[in-house]
Amino acid sequence: MLIRKSKPHDIRSSEITPSGAYMDRRRFLATGAAGAGAVLFSGLFMPTVGRTAPLSGVIKGSYTVDEPLTDKEAATTYNNFYELGTGKDDPVENAHYLKTDPWTVAIDGLVKGAGTYSFEDLIHPHKLEERVYRLRCVEAWSMVIPWVGVPLADVIRRLEPQGSAKYVAFETLVDPVRMPGQVRNALPWPYREGLRMDEALHPLTMLAVGMYGESMLPQNGAPIRLVVPWKYGFKSIKSIVRISFTEEQPPATWNMQNPREYGFYSNVNPDVDHPRWSQAKERRIGEFFKRPTLPFNGYGEDVASLYAGMDMTKNY
């Protein structure tokens, strides 16, 4: 077996293997000459790493999609999580480093409920619900996942932000011991993201603590992550340790890293190509053929009004 070791240098976005090429290589290795047949996931993905626990008392949420769920093994072994490594296999291989108990989330900024909360206390007063969402990556791959969590709006209202708070900002843990990918300066740490307040309060936006009826695995962003289904996946920040309420637009990591390629809003828009690949089509993990990308990832009826009058080419 060949063991790939990281080199201690930065990774430019231009050096990252496009998802399509990566998936094609994995597909070839897994299926050999079968070629045009359906992708067989048994043997293609590694066994899931990490322990999960069933989440009790979960109610069915009102949001779902009439599409097959992504295979659980696929969703938990093919991941983008640079804190655990830049390769798609790295997060599951390094997941054992990320210890998530105990875990606290700092709340600060323009908010009455400032303080430090255990993630359980932050979530506890609210009923866990399961919602089936599409998740679209900027690299033209997508999934359909049954997320378990609570509406972010419920948490925000409980925390009572001030009227001057126009944005909600998020940060991921910085700890190179638990997140060995941070030894390399692939991105400026901590990973940061932000939403406009009306986006954060939208009923589709959720704080997720689980998938497939079980607690979240480290490689998927344990113990608590954001899910914003009409935006590209990198907006769904993982392993959150800080939530801030601000008047000014907060920094967002990929927008800081390469503003030409990644805008602050990052809404799924098939008419705005990434400079290095088209966004017009996507490949659902587990499918051979690509499908057309839907505006706002198919959630336009719910969220398009948030951006009425905005230039969606300029504000990508």
Burial class (CB in 10 A: 0-12, 13-18, 19+), 11: middle
The CA distance from 83 to 210, in Å, is 19
Lowest mean pLDDT among 93-97, 277-281, 292-296: 277-281
Q: Please state, as a whole number, how many other Cβ atoms lie within 10 Å of the Cβ of residue 196.
A: 16
Residue 249 lies in a domain: yes
pLDDT for 152-210, tens place per residue?
A: 999 999 999 999 999 999 999 999 999 999 999 999 999 999 999 999 999 999 999 99
Is residue 274 scored above 80 in pLDDT?
yes
Which amino acid appears at position 115 of this protein? G
Number of domains within the chain: 1
DSSP 267: B
HEC secondary structure over 279-302: CCEEEECCCCCCEECCHHHHCHHH
Bridge partner residues of 27 (DSSP): none
**Residue 50 confidence class, pLDDT cut points 50, 70, 90:** low
Which amino acid appears at position 105 of this protein? V
Residue 199 lies in a domain: yes
The CA distance from 306 to 295, in Å, is 14
Is residue 54 scored above 70 in pLDDT?
yes
Residue 7 lies in a domain: no
Distances, alpha carbon 263 to alpha carbons 177, 199, 230, in Å:
31, 15, 14
Contact 233, 138 (CB under 8 A): yes
Residue 18 lies in a domain: no
Residue 23 lies in a domain: no
Q: In this predicted structure, what is the pLDDT of residue 53?
A: 87
Bridge partner residues of 171 (DSSP): 192, 242
Task: CATH number of the domain at 242, please.
Answer: 3.90.420.10
How many H-runs (helices) and E-runs (strands) does the chain carry? 8, 13
Range from 19-28, 256-265, 271-280 that averages highest in pLDDT: 256-265
**Residue 306 confidence class, pLDDT cut points 50, 70, 90:** very high
Bridge partner residues of 91 (DSSP): none
What phi and psi, each to the nearest 5 degrees, are found at residue 304? -60, -30
Residue 316 lies in a domain: no
State the sign of the Cα–Cα–Cα–Cα dihedral 182, 248, 256, 284: positive
91: containing domain: 28-307
Residue 167, both tokens: 């944005």
Residue 231, both tokens: 């935006």
What phi and psi, each to the nearest 5 degrees, are found at residue 144? -125, 115
Residue 212 lies in a domain: yes
**Residue 279 confidence class, pLDDT cut points 50, 70, 90:** very high
Q: In this predicted structure, what is the pLDDT of residue 5?
A: 37
Residue 123, both tokens: 């979530």
Residue 314 lies in a domain: no
Burial class (CB in 10 A: 0-12, 13-18, 19+), 79: buried
The whole-number average pLDDT for the span 67-78 is 96
Bridge partner residues of 108 (DSSP): 244
**Residue 14 confidence class, pLDDT cut points 50, 70, 90:** very low
Helices (H), the chain: 19-31, 72-75, 90-94, 119-123, 152-159, 197-200, 253-257, 300-303
Which amino acid appears at position 187 of this protein? L
